[in-house]
Structures are given as C-alpha cells and as structure tokens.
A and B are shown apart, each in its own frame.
Chain A
C-alpha cells in the first residue's frame, strides 16, 4: 500500500467513524430543549458532523493531490519498518492480551498468564530477538524489568497488576512482606 492509498483509507475510515459518532450522539437529543438549553447529544453530534466534513475535505484534497501524503507514492510500510514497528505493535497487542487473557464466544484465544510473565516474554522478544543482544543481557533485562515493576508498583504503590495463572506464586512473597491482604 502506498502512502497515497493509506491517506485515502484513513480519511474514509475516519469518515465512517465520524458518521458512527453522529449516530451514537443522536441517541440523546441534539437540538435545543426549551428551558434546558442544548440537548445532551448536541455537543458530540455537531462536533462529529464537523469531523465528517473534514474527512470529506480530506478526500477532495486527495483527489486534487494538494497535500504531501496524497502525492507520496512510496510504500506506507517499507519492509524494514514493517519488520520493526509492525512486529512491536503486534507483540505488544499479544502481551496486553496475555495480561488477563482474551476470550471470544467462550473460546480462549490467549491464556491469562499475568502481567509479570507477559512483561518477561515481551522483554525476551525485544532485547533478545529484535535487539539481537546476547543471552546474558537478555536474561538480565528480561528478569530485572518485571522484578522492578513488581517492587515499585505492587509493593511501593500498592497497585495490583493482573497475575492470571501465576497468582499462587506471589502469595509467599506477599506473606513475606506482610501484605497477605493484598
């Protein structure tokens, strides 16, 4: 896909999203209610309408080739960029899914392995696979980052991160720190 094509696709997707926003806003009154002022849907409705107009202008600009992306025939994702940015975005999505698991229609798509194990996997992917660092560096970073995250967020800030199947492993640690109630 070229940048020019991506520009059109984005304008159309955002235009459709704007139309959807208008529809959702219109679930509440979007006109003037005597004695009450503008209806609850007025503000988002008219703003979404402006968004839709902007998207139409973007399509017109695309046809007229008036802005740089509409003239750019380069690939939107050159091979190297897709390999790096694209793979990071994909793995990041999987990692977030692994925090608490993903289910669709009763089928488990991703198991809930908890934040710390998911962060460990992400670090191994980034440092070891993408960064091609040696085993020692990969091990140091992959282990220390989840450990430090645990110490700072869970113990210092008392912010409980999802632990999924690894939950029982943390109980002795909480007991040791006298945080059995967490």
Chain B
C-alpha cells in the first residue's frame, strides 16, 4: 500500500508538470464542449482528436485524451438537462429526471447535481482503480499467450452475451474488425495477405485510427444529421437561472444524497470494467437501483435530483473502470479505451501488464492525472455552466462541417496518405448504413485494435500445444486460461440459454392457459 502511495505521488509529479497540467485543463474543456454537443460523446472526441496528439509526448497525449474522456462524461449531462437530448448515449438516463427538473425551472440544480455526482463517481472510482490496478497487473504478469487469447475471447464474448444487440450482427462486427486487422502482411511468413483488388496500399494494412475516425467521426456525424432531420428541430432549450447563491444552496442539498452517489459510483465502476457493458448500461442500472433505494421512488421520472445523481456518478465511474483492463491487461473496457489503446500502440508503447514495470511514469502519471482531471472538470463545469449552455445554442450547421474537416485532415495526418482518407470515408458511409440497420459497431473497433494481438496469441498458443485447442481449457496446466475461457464460453452461450429458457417459460404458460 505504501508503495502505491509513493508511486501515486510520483504520478502527481508527472501530472503537475506545466505541460501536462495545461493538457488536463484543455482536455477537460474540450471534453465538456464535445460532451455537451447532442449526439457526440467521448468516443467521438477521442477518435477525432487523437491525430492531434502527435504534438506532445505519449504521456501528455494520453493525459489529454483521458481528461477529454472525463470531460465528455460531465458534458453529456448538459444537453440531457437543457435540451432533453442526451449529449451521448451514456447520458440517456440523465434525461429521465434532468429534463423534468429543467422544465420546472431547476435546470441549475440538475446541472450542479450532475457535476457533483460526476466528481464523486470519478473520484471514488479512481481510488478503487488505484488500489485494484497494481495487484491485477501483477497477476497478469504471469499470463502467456493462451491466457492473453482467452482474455480477448472474454472481451468479445461480453459483447455477444451482454451487448443486447442482434447476435449474428454482433459476431459479424467482431469478425470483420479482426479480418480488417489482418490486412497487410502475415507476420509469421512475411507474405502479403488480403491485398484487395491488388491495390498495393493495402499492404500497409488498415489502421485502427482510420476505422475509428470513419465510424465515430464521419459515420456518427451522418447519423447525427439524420437524427436532427428526423427531430425537425423540435427540441427546445430550457432556461437556466445560475447564481452563486443558488449554486451554494444546491450543493448543500446534494450532501443528503451521498448514498446514491456512492452506489452509482461503485456500480458504474464494476460495470465499466466489462468491455461490452460500460457507461450506458452502468448508468441505466444505477438509475434503476437509485429508484429502488430512494425514499421517494414515485417522484423518479418527474424531477427527482437523485435520478440525475445515480446515472451521472455511474457513467463517470464506468469511464475509469473501463481503463482498468486497458492498463493492466491490454484489453479495452469500452470503445473509447479501445481507441486510447490503439493510440498507445501508435505512440510506441506496448499495452499490457508490463506497462506498470516498464513505463511507470506513463502509467502513474495517467492515474494521477485522473484525480486532477476530475477536479478541473467539476470546477470548469460548474463555473462555466452558462458557457456550455451557449454551446447548445450554436447551430449544428456551423459545428458539423468543422468536425468533418477535422476528420478528413485527422485521418490524413498520421500517414499522409490519401488512401487512408478514402478508406476512412468508406468506413464512415458503410458504418452509417450499418448503424441504420442496428449493426453494433463498437465490437469492430475493439476487434481491429485487438486483432493483431489475438492472432499472434492464438498462433503461438497452438504452436505450444502442437495444434491442440485444449490448451485454452486445461485447468491443470493453464488454470487462468481455462477459467477465463470457461467464463467466455458461458457468456457466449448466455443468449442461447436465455432463449431456451424463454421458450420453455412461454411454452409452460401456453400449456397452463385455460382453453
């Protein structure tokens, strides 16, 4: 424990370097801005702005993006409360009570509650993270290729078992991400592979950033345009009265809801660790439990401030939770952390448990920056509520083209190749069409990041075992791999069990029904 404190102090030394501190403030502000824009969330912000981080060293880059991640979680609530449109899917649950509060003239109360709950969620989860990360990384140090592959299967299985999307489409999405990651050269034989239509550019492979910006930048923007067109500008901005006196009174009132904050934070953190779950289901679950444990559950949905606190604490905590597997195991816990992980590879770092021993200043600098980012995000959020409300008044037709330009230039910047820009555009348009048909796209982004690692781990494992797949389920020689793989199999077949159970239950109900 003492060692962790010392390492954390070293981390604070890194986080408080003037450049890093400036990046934290800038990241929080950018995140709040992006989060406040309806339809755009942390994943879009991180994908679009990742190419800009070449200006700074890797530690500064990830600190900036992690601060942006936090800021966007805070910012998501602003649009939920003021417009009734979630700033991001992670803030859907915030609309349930945030919007009614705004309609009752208490928008400032909802916004302050969201900011303070986000701060509590972020802080509690980062403390849990600090305590859990080093031991988990230590355990993971003994992991070999079979364990690594099993872990990746577990990450993919969570999408199938818990994602709640069409299973065939989810599996398709995972596989297409993995196959796209295989384009280029076979790393073992050195032979070119999947060079489509003999276009030599494909020998350079398909970069994850191209797919990420395509899907989360261009595709998402096209989707947002469609949503705005369908809504026909029907949303109305609520009025908010903001004053220091009211803010202090609101803050005093929030102390009474500490139980809801702690519940949301712990729940969000745990759910956030799972790759397919993350902040959106975490916040919805926290809302449900918050209602159950509330003294006044009937007022939920009608403007109960605890209905804002529970999901907001949970979505921030989930963002920290999703970083735990990313830093300790090299497995992202959310689409945003998948992009961060891809960024780490771009910056020349090798994700995984060794990061803790090989790059301590990077890891602990990041962890410490999460504490600092939380502080700045809450201060910026409360201090600049009027400024973020002004953001919502900006016409989308002025912001959208700027984001498109950022996507195009951002996609070009890393390799300076038009081939990547064309590919990004293709992914964006196809991704948009697929999204319209309910194809989940987060698994594809996760898969393209993990693809090369998964293939290498599988091939090495099969080489060790002489082609025997039993190496992944051998509880005697590979207990960790077997345990993780069995968990993955359970998750994989969970929808099947559920379907059989549903059929049996409906069959029984039909047979007991009086004729």
Could you list which residues of chain A lie within 8 angstroms of chain B, going by C-beta atoms? 3, 6-7, 10, 14, 21, 24-25, 27-28, 32, 36-41, 43-44, 47-48, 50-51, 54-55, 57-58, 61, 67-69, 76, 78, 80-81, 83-85, 88-89, 92-93, 95-96, 99-100, 115, 119, 122-123, 126-127, 130-133, 137, 141, 145, 149, 152-153, 156-157, 159-162
Contact = CB atoms under 8 A, between A and B. Distances in A.
Interface residues of B, number: 63
Given A3-B437, A10-B434, A61-B168, 10 more contacts: A10-B433, A37-B188, A47-B178, A67-B166, A84-B226, A92-B218, A119-B408, A130-B397, A133-B395, A157-B52
B405 A149 contact: yes
A88 B413 contact: no
A162 B463 contact: no
B193 A25 contact: yes
Contacts of B222: 85, 88-89
A78 to B, nearest CB: 8
Interface string B397-429: 110111011001100110010100110010001
Given A21-B194, A100-B418, A6 B436 contact: yes
Contacts of B405: 119, 122-123, 145, 149
Contact of A159 (B171, B225, B416): B416
B495 to A, nearest CB: 13
Contacts of A81: 226, 229-230
B145 to A, nearest CB: 11
Candidate in B52, B176, B179, B230 with the most chain A CB atoms within 10 angstroms: B179
A38 B466 CA distance: 10
Candidate in B176, B437, B438 with the most chain A CB atoms within 10 angstroms: B437
10 contacts: A7-B437, A21-B194, A40-B191, A41-B186, A51-B176, A81-B226, A84-B229, A96-B421, A99-B408, A137-B398
Contacts of A153: 409, 413
Interface of B: 52, 54-55, 166, 168-169, 171-172, 175-176, 178-179, 182, 186, 188-189, 191, 193-196, 218, 221-223, 225-226, 228-230, 232, 395, 397-398, 400-402, 404-405, 408-409, 412-413, 416, 418, 421-422, 425, 429, 432-434, 436-439, 455, 458-460, 462-463, 467
B175 A156 contact: no
B191 A88 contact: no
A21 B181 CA distance: 13
Given A84-B229, A141-B401, A37 B168 contact: no
A14 B172 contact: yes
B171 to A, nearest CB: 5
Given A28-B189, A95-B408, A54 B437 contact: no
Contacts of A50: 171, 175
A160 B463 CA distance: 45
Contacts of B438: 67-69
A133 B232 CA distance: 17
Contacts, number: 182
B390 to A, nearest CB: 16
B408 to A, nearest CB: 7
Nearest to B396: A131
A32 B398 CA distance: 56
Given A89-B429, A131-B397, A41 B166 contact: no
A78 B231 CA distance: 13
B194 A54 contact: no
B186 A84 contact: no
Given A81-B226, A100-B418, A162-B418, A76 B436 contact: yes
A6 B435 CA distance: 12
B225 A44 contact: no
Nearest to A115: B409
B172 A122 contact: no
Given A28-B193, A85-B225, A37 B169 contact: no
Contact of A127 (B169, B228, B397, B434): B397
Contacts of A41: 186, 193
Contacts of B166: 58, 61, 67
Contacts of A40: 186, 188-189, 191, 193
B413 A48 contact: no
Candidate in B402, B409, B412 with the most chain A CB atoms within 10 angstroms: B409
Contacts of B169: 54, 58
Contact of A157 (B55, B226, B408): B55
Contacts of B179: 21, 25, 44, 47-48, 51
A143 to B, nearest CB: 13
A63 B462 CA distance: 39
B189 A38 contact: no
Contacts of A80: 229-230, 232
A76 to B, nearest CB: 7
Q: Which 7 residue pairs spanning A and B have beta carbons closest together? A: A131-B397, A40-B186, A126-B401, A54-B172, A57-B168, A37-B463, A44-B182
B142 to A, nearest CB: 23
Contacts of A149: 405, 409
A84 B225 contact: yes
B404 A92 contact: yes
Contacts of B395: 131, 133
A69 B437 contact: yes
Given A96-B421, A119-B405, A141-B398, A48 B175 contact: yes
Contact of A6 (B421, B432, B437): B437
Contacts of A141: 398, 401-402
Contacts of B54: 157
Contacts of A37: 188, 459-460, 462-463, 467
A44 B180 CA distance: 9
Contact of B418 (A25, A89, A99, A131): A99
